[in-house]
Structure 1
Amino acid sequence: MDTNSWMNLAYLVLLGGALGGWVIYQNRGRMNQMMQGAVAWGLIFIGVVAAIGLWGDIRQSVAPRQAVLQGGEITVPQSPDGHYYLTAEVNGEPLRFMVDTGASDIVLTRADAARVGITEDDIVFSGRALSANGEVRIAPVRLDSVALGPVVAQGVRAMVNDGEMRQSLMGMSYLQTFSKIEIGDGALLLKP
Protein backbone atom coordinates (compact mmCIF):
# COMPACT_ATOMS: atom_id res chain seq x y z
CA MET A 1 0.00 0.00 0.00
CA ASP A 2 1.24 3.45 -0.82
CA THR A 3 1.04 6.49 1.46
CA ASN A 4 -2.18 7.74 -0.10
CA SER A 5 -3.93 4.42 0.62
CA TRP A 6 -2.74 4.47 4.23
CA MET A 7 -4.04 8.02 4.64
CA ASN A 8 -7.45 7.02 3.21
CA LEU A 9 -7.59 4.03 5.54
CA ALA A 10 -6.67 6.19 8.57
CA TYR A 11 -9.38 8.71 7.59
CA LEU A 12 -12.01 5.95 7.31
CA VAL A 13 -10.98 4.46 10.69
CA LEU A 14 -11.22 7.91 12.35
CA LEU A 15 -14.57 8.61 10.70
CA GLY A 16 -15.90 5.18 11.75
CA GLY A 17 -14.62 5.72 15.29
CA ALA A 18 -16.28 9.14 15.48
CA LEU A 19 -19.61 7.78 14.21
CA GLY A 20 -19.39 4.79 16.56
CA GLY A 21 -18.58 7.08 19.50
CA TRP A 22 -21.53 9.33 18.68
CA VAL A 23 -23.92 6.32 18.47
CA ILE A 24 -22.65 4.99 21.82
CA TYR A 25 -22.97 8.44 23.45
CA GLN A 26 -26.52 8.91 22.13
CA ASN A 27 -27.64 5.46 23.28
CA ARG A 28 -25.67 5.20 26.54
CA GLY A 29 -28.88 4.50 28.50
CA ARG A 30 -29.87 1.67 26.12
CA MET A 31 -26.56 -0.13 25.64
CA ASN A 32 -28.08 -3.61 25.93
CA GLN A 33 -30.61 -2.90 23.15
CA MET A 34 -27.95 -1.27 21.01
CA MET A 35 -25.62 -4.27 21.32
CA GLN A 36 -28.44 -6.67 20.42
CA GLY A 37 -29.22 -4.60 17.32
CA ALA A 38 -25.54 -4.44 16.34
CA VAL A 39 -25.18 -8.23 16.69
CA ALA A 40 -28.37 -8.82 14.68
CA TRP A 41 -27.19 -6.53 11.84
CA GLY A 42 -23.73 -8.12 11.94
CA LEU A 43 -25.25 -11.60 11.56
CA ILE A 44 -27.48 -10.41 8.71
CA PHE A 45 -24.42 -8.94 6.97
CA ILE A 46 -22.43 -12.17 7.41
CA GLY A 47 -25.42 -14.21 6.14
CA VAL A 48 -25.76 -12.08 3.02
CA VAL A 49 -22.02 -12.28 2.30
CA ALA A 50 -22.09 -16.08 2.79
CA ALA A 51 -25.14 -16.47 0.51
CA ILE A 52 -23.46 -14.41 -2.23
CA GLY A 53 -20.24 -16.41 -1.89
CA LEU A 54 -22.05 -19.76 -1.96
CA TRP A 55 -24.65 -18.83 -4.61
CA GLY A 56 -23.07 -21.04 -7.28
CA ASP A 57 -23.23 -24.08 -4.99
CA ILE A 58 -26.75 -23.24 -3.85
CA ARG A 59 -27.98 -22.82 -7.43
CA GLN A 60 -26.35 -26.10 -8.46
CA SER A 61 -28.08 -27.90 -5.57
CA VAL A 62 -31.50 -26.42 -6.32
CA ALA A 63 -31.32 -26.73 -10.11
CA PRO A 64 -28.44 -28.99 -11.10
CA ARG A 65 -27.26 -28.69 -14.69
CA GLN A 66 -25.56 -31.01 -17.10
CA ALA A 67 -21.99 -30.44 -18.15
CA VAL A 68 -19.94 -31.59 -21.11
CA LEU A 69 -16.54 -32.76 -19.89
CA GLN A 70 -13.28 -33.31 -21.74
CA GLY A 71 -13.59 -36.08 -24.28
CA GLY A 72 -17.25 -35.26 -24.83
CA GLU A 73 -18.50 -37.05 -21.72
CA ILE A 74 -21.73 -35.61 -20.37
CA THR A 75 -22.49 -35.58 -16.67
CA VAL A 76 -26.05 -34.99 -15.50
CA PRO A 77 -26.49 -34.42 -11.75
CA GLN A 78 -29.42 -36.05 -10.00
CA SER A 79 -32.15 -33.53 -9.26
CA PRO A 80 -33.73 -33.21 -5.81
CA ASP A 81 -36.73 -35.26 -7.01
CA GLY A 82 -34.41 -38.21 -7.76
CA HIS A 83 -34.65 -38.00 -11.56
CA TYR A 84 -32.08 -36.98 -14.16
CA TYR A 85 -32.95 -34.08 -16.48
CA LEU A 86 -30.94 -33.14 -19.53
CA THR A 87 -31.26 -30.62 -22.33
CA ALA A 88 -30.81 -31.76 -25.91
CA GLU A 89 -31.20 -29.86 -29.16
CA VAL A 90 -34.04 -31.30 -31.20
CA ASN A 91 -34.34 -29.90 -34.72
CA GLY A 92 -32.17 -27.01 -33.49
CA GLU A 93 -34.42 -26.22 -30.48
CA PRO A 94 -33.23 -26.87 -26.91
CA LEU A 95 -35.66 -29.21 -25.12
CA ARG A 96 -35.52 -30.41 -21.54
CA PHE A 97 -36.00 -34.14 -21.07
CA MET A 98 -36.37 -36.46 -18.13
CA VAL A 99 -34.11 -39.48 -18.64
CA ASP A 100 -36.31 -42.58 -18.68
CA THR A 101 -34.43 -45.85 -19.15
CA GLY A 102 -37.79 -47.63 -19.14
CA ALA A 103 -38.95 -45.78 -22.27
CA SER A 104 -38.02 -47.34 -25.60
CA ASP A 105 -38.10 -44.13 -27.63
CA ILE A 106 -37.97 -40.41 -27.21
CA VAL A 107 -41.47 -39.38 -26.12
CA LEU A 108 -42.50 -35.77 -26.70
CA THR A 109 -45.31 -33.84 -25.12
CA ARG A 110 -47.62 -32.19 -27.63
CA ALA A 111 -46.24 -28.76 -26.63
CA ASP A 112 -42.62 -29.86 -27.16
CA ALA A 113 -43.55 -31.45 -30.51
CA ALA A 114 -44.95 -28.09 -31.63
CA ARG A 115 -41.78 -26.32 -30.42
CA VAL A 116 -39.60 -28.48 -32.69
CA GLY A 117 -41.78 -27.92 -35.75
CA ILE A 118 -44.09 -30.91 -35.70
CA THR A 119 -47.50 -29.62 -36.73
CA GLU A 120 -50.89 -31.08 -35.84
CA ASP A 121 -51.08 -32.31 -39.45
CA ASP A 122 -47.91 -34.39 -38.86
CA ILE A 123 -49.41 -36.14 -35.84
CA VAL A 124 -51.49 -39.26 -36.40
CA PHE A 125 -52.27 -41.13 -33.20
CA SER A 126 -52.14 -44.63 -34.63
CA GLY A 127 -50.66 -46.52 -31.71
CA ARG A 128 -51.12 -47.18 -28.04
CA ALA A 129 -48.63 -47.49 -25.22
CA LEU A 130 -48.75 -48.36 -21.55
CA SER A 131 -47.47 -45.57 -19.34
CA ALA A 132 -47.39 -44.92 -15.62
CA ASN A 133 -50.77 -43.21 -16.12
CA GLY A 134 -52.29 -46.14 -17.99
CA GLU A 135 -52.85 -46.64 -21.70
CA VAL A 136 -52.24 -43.59 -23.92
CA ARG A 137 -52.44 -42.88 -27.63
CA ILE A 138 -49.13 -42.23 -29.37
CA ALA A 139 -48.13 -40.88 -32.76
CA PRO A 140 -44.85 -41.97 -34.38
CA VAL A 141 -42.77 -39.10 -35.83
CA ARG A 142 -39.25 -38.59 -37.19
CA LEU A 143 -37.00 -35.89 -35.73
CA ASP A 144 -34.58 -34.31 -38.19
CA SER A 145 -31.81 -34.19 -35.60
CA VAL A 146 -31.15 -34.76 -31.91
CA ALA A 147 -27.89 -33.41 -30.47
CA LEU A 148 -26.56 -33.93 -26.98
CA GLY A 149 -22.98 -32.80 -26.54
CA PRO A 150 -20.87 -34.39 -29.28
CA VAL A 151 -23.48 -37.03 -30.18
CA VAL A 152 -25.71 -35.96 -33.06
CA ALA A 153 -28.25 -38.33 -34.60
CA GLN A 154 -30.25 -37.72 -37.77
CA GLY A 155 -33.73 -39.04 -38.57
CA VAL A 156 -34.47 -40.14 -35.01
CA ARG A 157 -37.67 -42.06 -34.36
CA ALA A 158 -39.82 -40.54 -31.59
CA MET A 159 -43.36 -40.63 -30.28
CA VAL A 160 -45.79 -37.85 -29.46
CA ASN A 161 -47.87 -38.70 -26.41
CA ASP A 162 -51.56 -37.74 -26.46
CA GLY A 163 -51.86 -38.17 -22.69
CA GLU A 164 -50.99 -35.72 -19.97
CA MET A 165 -47.23 -35.44 -19.53
CA ARG A 166 -45.35 -32.70 -17.72
CA GLN A 167 -42.01 -33.51 -19.32
CA SER A 168 -40.75 -35.09 -22.52
CA LEU A 169 -38.84 -38.33 -22.00
CA MET A 170 -35.40 -39.32 -23.29
CA GLY A 171 -35.69 -43.04 -23.97
CA MET A 172 -33.21 -45.78 -24.75
CA SER A 173 -33.31 -45.56 -28.56
CA TYR A 174 -31.27 -42.35 -28.37
CA LEU A 175 -29.36 -43.09 -25.16
CA GLN A 176 -27.96 -46.26 -26.77
CA THR A 177 -26.04 -44.06 -29.23
CA PHE A 178 -23.63 -43.46 -26.33
CA SER A 179 -20.97 -46.12 -25.77
CA LYS A 180 -21.52 -46.17 -22.00
CA ILE A 181 -24.27 -45.07 -19.62
CA GLU A 182 -23.29 -45.01 -15.97
CA ILE A 183 -25.30 -44.00 -12.90
CA GLY A 184 -23.52 -43.48 -9.59
CA ASP A 185 -22.52 -40.94 -6.96
CA GLY A 186 -25.62 -38.85 -7.66
CA ALA A 187 -24.90 -38.36 -11.36
CA LEU A 188 -25.62 -39.87 -14.75
CA LEU A 189 -22.55 -40.15 -16.97
CA LEU A 190 -22.90 -40.54 -20.75
CA LYS A 191 -19.75 -41.46 -22.69
CA PRO A 192 -19.71 -40.99 -26.49
Structure 2
Amino acid sequence: MTTDQIMQLTYLVLLGAAVGGSAIVVGRKNMGKMAQQAAIWALIFIGVIGAYGLWEDISNNVNPRQTILSESAIAVPRSNDGHYHLTLDVNGTAVDFVIDTGASQVVLSQRDAARIGIDANSLNYSGAASTANGVVRTAPVMLDQVRLGAITDRNVPAVVNGGEMDNSLLGMTYLGLYNRIEIANGELVLNR
Protein backbone atom coordinates (compact mmCIF):
# COMPACT_ATOMS: atom_id res chain seq x y z
CA MET A 1 0.00 0.00 0.00
CA THR A 2 1.17 3.49 -0.77
CA THR A 3 1.17 6.27 1.79
CA ASP A 4 -1.83 7.89 0.08
CA GLN A 5 -3.83 4.66 0.28
CA ILE A 6 -2.96 4.25 3.96
CA MET A 7 -4.03 7.82 4.67
CA GLN A 8 -7.32 7.31 2.78
CA LEU A 9 -8.01 4.10 4.67
CA THR A 10 -7.22 5.81 8.00
CA TYR A 11 -9.59 8.65 7.12
CA LEU A 12 -12.39 6.24 6.20
CA VAL A 13 -11.89 4.21 9.42
CA LEU A 14 -11.98 7.38 11.54
CA LEU A 15 -15.04 8.67 9.68
CA GLY A 16 -16.80 5.32 10.11
CA ALA A 17 -15.90 5.27 13.82
CA ALA A 18 -17.26 8.81 14.25
CA VAL A 19 -20.53 8.02 12.47
CA GLY A 20 -20.89 4.67 14.26
CA GLY A 21 -20.03 6.19 17.63
CA SER A 22 -22.55 8.99 17.23
CA ALA A 23 -25.22 6.45 16.22
CA ILE A 24 -24.49 4.40 19.34
CA VAL A 25 -24.65 7.48 21.59
CA VAL A 26 -27.95 8.61 20.05
CA GLY A 27 -29.53 5.14 20.08
CA ARG A 28 -28.06 3.76 23.32
CA LYS A 29 -31.51 3.51 24.90
CA ASN A 30 -32.82 1.36 22.04
CA MET A 31 -29.87 -0.88 21.09
CA GLY A 32 -32.05 -3.73 19.69
CA LYS A 33 -33.68 -1.51 17.08
CA MET A 34 -30.34 0.06 16.21
CA ALA A 35 -28.76 -3.41 15.70
CA GLN A 36 -31.69 -4.38 13.47
CA GLN A 37 -31.24 -1.25 11.32
CA ALA A 38 -27.48 -1.82 11.14
CA ALA A 39 -28.09 -5.38 9.92
CA ILE A 40 -30.50 -4.11 7.23
CA TRP A 41 -27.94 -1.57 6.02
CA ALA A 42 -25.22 -4.24 6.01
CA LEU A 43 -27.40 -6.50 3.82
CA ILE A 44 -28.14 -3.60 1.45
CA PHE A 45 -24.41 -2.88 1.24
CA ILE A 46 -23.60 -6.55 0.51
CA GLY A 47 -26.38 -6.64 -2.12
CA VAL A 48 -24.97 -3.56 -3.89
CA ILE A 49 -21.47 -5.09 -3.90
CA GLY A 50 -22.90 -8.37 -5.28
CA ALA A 51 -24.87 -6.58 -8.03
CA TYR A 52 -21.79 -4.57 -8.99
CA GLY A 53 -19.71 -7.75 -9.21
CA LEU A 54 -22.34 -9.52 -11.34
CA TRP A 55 -23.22 -6.50 -13.51
CA GLU A 56 -21.43 -7.78 -16.61
CA ASP A 57 -23.32 -11.08 -16.47
CA ILE A 58 -26.63 -9.32 -15.78
CA SER A 59 -26.16 -6.76 -18.57
CA ASN A 60 -25.29 -9.50 -21.10
CA ASN A 61 -28.61 -11.21 -20.32
CA VAL A 62 -30.60 -7.98 -20.49
CA ASN A 63 -28.81 -6.47 -23.50
CA PRO A 64 -26.80 -9.13 -25.36
CA ARG A 65 -23.76 -7.98 -27.35
CA GLN A 66 -21.67 -9.31 -30.18
CA THR A 67 -18.81 -11.66 -29.38
CA ILE A 68 -15.62 -12.10 -31.35
CA LEU A 69 -15.12 -15.86 -31.60
CA SER A 70 -11.85 -15.70 -33.56
CA GLU A 71 -10.04 -13.40 -35.96
CA SER A 72 -12.48 -14.44 -38.66
CA ALA A 73 -15.73 -15.22 -36.80
CA ILE A 74 -18.18 -13.00 -34.94
CA ALA A 75 -21.31 -14.14 -33.08
CA VAL A 76 -24.25 -11.75 -32.83
CA PRO A 77 -27.06 -12.69 -30.42
CA ARG A 78 -30.67 -11.90 -31.29
CA SER A 79 -31.73 -8.81 -29.41
CA ASN A 80 -34.87 -8.49 -27.33
CA ASP A 81 -36.55 -6.73 -30.28
CA GLY A 82 -36.01 -9.84 -32.46
CA HIS A 83 -33.32 -8.24 -34.65
CA TYR A 84 -29.58 -8.73 -34.81
CA HIS A 85 -27.60 -5.60 -33.90
CA LEU A 86 -23.93 -5.18 -34.73
CA THR A 87 -21.53 -2.39 -33.82
CA LEU A 88 -18.88 -1.60 -36.42
CA ASP A 89 -16.05 0.90 -36.34
CA VAL A 90 -16.70 3.09 -39.40
CA ASN A 91 -13.99 5.64 -40.19
CA GLY A 92 -12.89 5.52 -36.54
CA THR A 93 -16.38 5.92 -35.03
CA ALA A 94 -18.53 3.19 -33.46
CA VAL A 95 -21.80 2.87 -35.39
CA ASP A 96 -24.68 0.61 -34.36
CA PHE A 97 -26.35 -1.25 -37.22
CA VAL A 98 -29.38 -3.49 -37.58
CA ILE A 99 -28.45 -6.48 -39.74
CA ASP A 100 -30.84 -6.50 -42.69
CA THR A 101 -30.37 -9.28 -45.23
CA GLY A 102 -33.23 -7.74 -47.21
CA ALA A 103 -31.28 -4.52 -47.75
CA SER A 104 -29.02 -4.66 -50.78
CA GLN A 105 -26.73 -1.94 -49.45
CA VAL A 106 -25.28 -0.53 -46.27
CA VAL A 107 -27.69 2.28 -45.43
CA LEU A 108 -26.62 5.05 -43.08
CA SER A 109 -29.03 7.30 -41.26
CA GLN A 110 -28.26 10.99 -41.62
CA ARG A 111 -27.34 11.11 -37.92
CA ASP A 112 -24.78 8.29 -38.26
CA ALA A 113 -23.44 9.80 -41.50
CA ALA A 114 -22.76 13.06 -39.64
CA ARG A 115 -21.10 11.17 -36.78
CA ILE A 116 -18.56 9.60 -39.18
CA GLY A 117 -17.80 12.90 -40.88
CA ILE A 118 -20.17 12.93 -43.86
CA ASP A 119 -22.09 16.14 -44.47
CA ALA A 120 -25.51 14.75 -45.40
CA ASN A 121 -26.71 18.16 -46.62
CA SER A 122 -24.03 18.40 -49.31
CA LEU A 123 -24.69 14.95 -50.81
CA ASN A 124 -26.32 14.29 -54.15
CA TYR A 125 -29.45 12.26 -53.43
CA SER A 126 -29.60 10.79 -56.91
CA GLY A 127 -30.67 7.25 -55.99
CA ALA A 128 -33.92 5.77 -54.75
CA ALA A 129 -34.74 2.84 -52.51
CA SER A 130 -38.04 1.07 -51.95
CA THR A 131 -38.78 0.58 -48.27
CA ALA A 132 -41.75 -0.54 -46.21
CA ASN A 133 -42.57 3.16 -45.84
CA GLY A 134 -42.36 3.89 -49.56
CA VAL A 135 -39.64 5.19 -51.83
CA VAL A 136 -36.84 7.28 -50.27
CA ARG A 137 -34.00 9.20 -51.87
CA THR A 138 -30.45 7.95 -51.27
CA ALA A 139 -26.99 9.39 -51.79
CA PRO A 140 -24.06 7.08 -52.62
CA VAL A 141 -20.97 7.32 -50.40
CA MET A 142 -17.78 5.32 -49.91
CA LEU A 143 -16.77 4.27 -46.39
CA ASP A 144 -13.00 4.53 -46.17
CA GLN A 145 -12.64 1.93 -43.42
CA VAL A 146 -15.05 -0.50 -41.77
CA ARG A 147 -13.63 -2.56 -38.91
CA LEU A 148 -15.17 -5.44 -36.97
CA GLY A 149 -12.73 -6.95 -34.47
CA ALA A 150 -9.61 -7.98 -36.42
CA ILE A 151 -11.41 -7.69 -39.78
CA THR A 152 -10.89 -4.43 -41.67
CA ASP A 153 -12.47 -3.61 -45.02
CA ARG A 154 -11.64 -0.55 -47.07
CA ASN A 155 -13.72 1.38 -49.60
CA VAL A 156 -17.05 -0.16 -48.69
CA PRO A 157 -19.91 1.28 -50.78
CA ALA A 158 -22.90 2.60 -48.85
CA VAL A 159 -25.77 5.05 -49.19
CA VAL A 160 -27.10 7.77 -46.91
CA ASN A 161 -30.87 7.67 -46.54
CA GLY A 162 -32.57 10.96 -47.34
CA GLY A 163 -35.49 10.13 -45.04
CA GLU A 164 -35.83 9.55 -41.33
CA MET A 165 -34.32 6.34 -39.93
CA ASP A 166 -33.99 5.11 -36.36
CA ASN A 167 -31.01 2.86 -37.11
CA SER A 168 -28.50 2.38 -39.87
CA LEU A 169 -28.89 -0.89 -41.79
CA LEU A 170 -26.14 -3.39 -42.52
CA GLY A 171 -27.10 -4.79 -45.90
CA MET A 172 -25.68 -7.25 -48.39
CA THR A 173 -22.84 -5.08 -49.76
CA TYR A 174 -21.14 -5.67 -46.40
CA LEU A 175 -22.59 -9.05 -45.45
CA GLY A 176 -21.57 -10.41 -48.87
CA LEU A 177 -17.91 -9.94 -47.87
CA TYR A 178 -18.30 -12.92 -45.50
CA ASN A 179 -17.87 -16.52 -46.67
CA ARG A 180 -20.59 -17.88 -44.44
CA ILE A 181 -23.54 -16.44 -42.53
CA GLU A 182 -25.34 -18.81 -40.19
CA ILE A 183 -28.37 -18.28 -37.96
CA ALA A 184 -29.01 -20.90 -35.28
CA ASN A 185 -30.24 -20.94 -31.69
CA GLY A 186 -30.91 -17.21 -31.57
CA GLU A 187 -27.44 -16.31 -32.79
CA LEU A 188 -26.10 -15.05 -36.11
CA VAL A 189 -22.50 -16.04 -36.86
CA LEU A 190 -20.42 -14.29 -39.53
CA ASN A 191 -17.38 -16.18 -40.85
CA ARG A 192 -14.63 -14.92 -43.17
Task: Tell me which interval the TM-score lies in, with the shorter structure as reference length.
Answer: 0.7 to 0.9
Q: 1:189 is matched by which residue type in structure 2?
A: V
Instruction: Provide the TM-score with structure 1 as the length reference.
Output: 0.74
Partner of 2:191: 191
- Which residue matches 1:118? 118
Q: Distance in 1 between matches of 2:39 and 2:145?
A: 59
Structure 1 runs not aligned, ≥5 long? 1-18
Corresponding residue of 2:103 = 103
The answer (yes or no) to whether the contact 2:71–2:151 under 8 Å persists in 1 is: no
Instruction: Work out the CA distance in 2 between the residues paired with 1:82 and 1:99.
Output: 11
Amino acid at match of 1:123: L
Give CA-to-partner distance per residue, 1:88-138, whole Å, 9 cap, x none: 122333322111122111000112222333334752112222223332211
Which residue pairs with 2:127 in the alignment? 127
Q: 1:58-80: per-residue Cα shift (whole Å, max 9, x none)? A: 23234433232224211223333
CA drift of 1:182 comes to 1.8
Distance, in Å, in 2 between the alignment partners of 1:132 and 1:144 is: 29
Count of paired positions:
172
- Structure 1 segments (4+ residues) deviating >4 Å: none
TM-score (structure 2 length as normaliser): 0.74
Question: Is the Cα contact below 8 Å between 1:122 and 1:141 reproduced in 2?
Answer: no
CA contact (8 A) 2:120 2:160 kept: no
C-alpha RMSD over aligned residues: 2.9
Equivalence map 1:1-192=2 (5 Å): 26-27=28-29, 31=32, 33-34=33-34, 36-120=36-120, 123-192=123-192
Shift, 1:183, TM fit = 2.2
Q: Contact between 1:106 and 1:173, CA under 8 Å: does it hold in 2?
A: yes
Shift of residue 34, structure 1, vs aligned partner: 4.2
Q: Percentage identity across aligned positions?
A: 49
